[in-house]
Structure 1
């Protein structure tokens, strides 16, 4: 199926955090004359423009978390409870980032109760029926969304370095399908999101079990074929295994929508220049948009 639309869904949270910490390590917060730190937003824009230059999308949408509580916290109150509060220099940059994205006429999308991941999952499913979708993120969890018209572009160190994944090559590389990524995380848990999966089962064992039995259901149906230790661990943590799968799966039915008309990528140069100058971004022509 050929398609002319190339839609880039941007994980705003991932870009902002990555850019902030890259310079915060050396206490370089770029505080302007109004006392506003801008290092995260500046770096995020550099990531954004570099990716736009590389992938040449026709449409761009930026997705955000809206508050720290989501439906996953209702399922499991300790979800992400291990995360510390963001540094005080980052806090004002959340709203500032959205403001700057808006000045580029790029829609900001997010909905209370869902993560940015869920918004990207929902929109990618809707658009991929008729368009090529690129998901720009730093989060490996997004690999579960791979489909024939959906690519995942993972940011690597520095600017302009990406690991691009396609559904067609994913299986050869990982040995499992994108859909099996959910069951993989359910088995091994996710320390960064603070849910345990099955205690004592790591990535290596989880991959082996999924290659043999395909799904969690397949593993449970053949539980007598497992080693005594594996069987004991799974039976002991069975409830957590099922709960972890609910936490790991990106919800592709979040209450979000964005018309492609609104997402058409076209920058009003004056509006952008006014915003960047107002924030006292230095050398932005060269450093951010590369012109």
Structure 2
């Protein structure tokens, strides 16, 4: 099988779409899923600069594209099926046909990737079915996906088969939970907690965790330039920044959630339910 050549014009077209949809992206090594940059983690809380993008994506420089999931990309949730008929079985044929006509879907060598958005946090999950230990991967915050027109390690291009838009269905977490139960499947978190906590985790357990969270949130407000920026510019904040702020605070329990609500009140799209 002939390996497809890198298509700079196709990459430019897709990058324009990703920009329009406010997706945050970076470069992968051509034909691989490995980052071509030193570290992508900081991009979860900041957008890449124009200089960085110009360095990563150039004519004559074959690269794959990675899209960061979660709050960095306006609540992006990627349902990655590792079975050709996985999506039609999970959604049901009628809903699957509707999704193909209403959201961005990518055909991969193993199965379709369905791009959706969620207004609430969804944990990263892996769902097994029969002998397929990763029949469905739900990729959210802290994860990324290879996107068109990237080249899969097998030598097959990632192909867009849906529309150039990303749907935001209501109650996506509840729908996923319901379908997993109806199909008799079980989900496991992408990052399983260790059986024996590390010393730092032991400190977070029980009575001391609330105190730790309180101190951590206070230190963020005092020292984190990103949180301070979001606080001071809440009324005009873009949605990806608001999502990133909420996600950064939500990990610190009740005090983090209360602070996120307080800082979000001037944000035009804020509702207490979110």
TM-score (norm 2): 0.23
Instruction: Choose between structure 1 and 2: higher helix proportion.
Output: 1
Instruction: Choose between structure 1 and 2: higher strand proportion.
Output: 2
Instruction: Report which structure shows greater RCO (CA 8 Å, sep ≥6).
Output: 1
TM-score (norm 1): 0.22
